[in-house]
């Protein structure tokens, strides 16, 4: 079929402006979920001054590569990115997907060099936050220090969620969990929780979830047959959230 499901929030008439980088933390619509969260107006201004906004990345452009010198962490402003490591035998392992308001690059802190690569899944704008400045500010602003500790900690708990998923759950459960995760993250950004466009390919999904493309595809077909999801290539509509949760088999 040629028809697409209707535009899912970020597309459509907003397309011309979501990547705009003439914005500051104070007026950014993401400041309720991003780094500035928990900061006073004055403090936000200071944070804002160290942040560098550059022109958007095009699809499949790298934000940084494994081994690059670590200098900054990044907040996604628009679009989506994936982080991945290359294993010693040359294969890829996708370690995370990042949506607007989310921070990436923190795995580079430990060695002063990025432990993974980050690549745009679609046109994406990011805010670059030089880490040395962030450290300096953190020492002066307890709330910022605290918040950044929390962000890193959250990354740890999320990785542990994924570990559990990979270690204990079936293909059905893994895919269902990912769909729920994306749905929830959309909701946090005031977008539709039931209808969205996946920015990543089936290969990426499979790679992230430790499954082959074929298995992912079969799971989608099965879910469609069960009237849980409506799948049209990358457009997803969740028809039965309860059913999806049951399939994911998590208390989420």
Partner DNA sequence: CGTTCCATTGAGATGTGTCAATTCAAGTGG
Partner DNA sequence: CCACTTGAATTGACACATCTCAATGGAACG
Which listed option, DNA, a second copy, none, makes contact with residue 241 (CB within 5 to 8 Å by class)? Answer: none
The arrangement of strands across the sheet holding 235-238 comes to: 195-197, 235-238, 229-232
| Closest by Cα among 56, 80, 100 to 198 | 80
220 binds DNA (CB under 7 A): yes
Of 127, 217, 129, the residue nearest 209 (C-alpha): 217
- The set of residues, in sequence order, having a beta carbon less than 8 Å from that of 184 and lying 6+ positions away, is 193, 252
Q: Count other Cβ atoms within 10 Å, centred on residue 184.
A: 11
Q: CA-to-CA distance for 181 and 198, rounded, in angstroms?
A: 12
CA atoms of 82 and 104, how far apart (whole Å)? 9
The yes or no reply on residue 87 touching DNA (CB under 7 A) is: no
Q: Are strands 117-120 and 81-86 parallel, antiparallel or unpaired?
A: antiparallel
Asked whether position 71 contacts a second copy by CB under 8 A, the answer is no
5 binds DNA (CB under 7 A): no
99 binds, options a second copy, DNA, none, Cβ within 5 to 8 A by partner type: none
**203 lies in the site for a second copy, by CB under 8 A:** no
Contact call for residue 210 and a second copy (CB under 8 A):
yes
157 C-beta neighbours (distance < 10 Å), count: 9
Among 3, 22, 60, 142, binds a second copy (CB under 8 A): 142
User: 190, 179, 177, 164: which is closest to 29 by C-alpha?
Assistant: 190
Q: Which does 58 bind (CB under 5 to 8 A by kind): DNA, a second copy, none?
A: none
Nearer to a second copy, 24 or 145 (CB): 145
Q: Which stretch binds DNA (CB under 7 A): 113-121, 132-140, 153-161, 199-207?
A: 199-207
Under the binding rule (CB under 7 A), the answer on residue 212 touching DNA is yes
Q: Which does 38 bind (CB under 5 to 8 A by kind): a second copy, DNA, none?
A: none
What is the distance between the alpha carbons of residues 33 and 37, in angstroms, rounded to a whole number?
Answer: 6
- Compare residues 25 and 200 and give the one whose CB is closer to DNA: 200
Interface with DNA (CB under 7 A):
1-2, 170-172, 201-203, 210-218, 220-221, 231, 233-234
Interface with a second copy (CB under 8 A):
85, 87-89, 91, 93, 95, 106-111, 115-116, 135, 138-140, 142, 145-146, 148-157, 159-160, 162-164, 166-168, 207-210, 249-251
């Amino acid at each position: 079929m040629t028809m697409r499901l209707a535009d899912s929030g970020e597309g459509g008439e907003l397309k011309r402006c979501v990547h705009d980088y003439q914005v500051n933390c104070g007026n950014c619509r993401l400041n309720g979920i991003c780094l500035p969260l928990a900061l006073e107006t004055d403090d936000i201004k200071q944070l804002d001054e160290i942040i560098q906004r550059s022109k958007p990345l095009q699809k499949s452009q790298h934000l940084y590569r494994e081994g690059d010198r670590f200098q900054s962490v990044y907040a996604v402003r628009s679009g989506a990115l994936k982080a991945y490591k290359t294993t010693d035998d040359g294969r890829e392992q996708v370690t995370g997907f990042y949506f607007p308001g989310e921070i990436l690059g923190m795995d580079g802190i430990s060695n002063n060099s990025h432990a993974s690569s980050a690549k745009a899944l679609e046109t994406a704008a990011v805010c670059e936050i030089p880490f040395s400045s962030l450290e300096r500010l953190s020492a002066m602003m307890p709330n910022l220090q605290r918040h950044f500790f929390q962000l890193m900690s959250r990354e740890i708990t999320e990785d542990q969620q994924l570990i559990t998923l990979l270690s204990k759950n079936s293909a059905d459960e893994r895919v269902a969990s990912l769909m729920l995760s994306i749905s929830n993250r959309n909701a946090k950004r005031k977008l539709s929780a039931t209808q969205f466009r996946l920015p990543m390919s089936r290969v990426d999904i499979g790679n992230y979830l430790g499954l082959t493309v074929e298995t992912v595809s079969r799971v989608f077909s099965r879910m469609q047959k069960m009237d849980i999801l409506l799948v049209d290539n990358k457009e997803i509509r969740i028809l039965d959230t309860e059913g999806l949760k049951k399939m994911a088999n998590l208390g989420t």
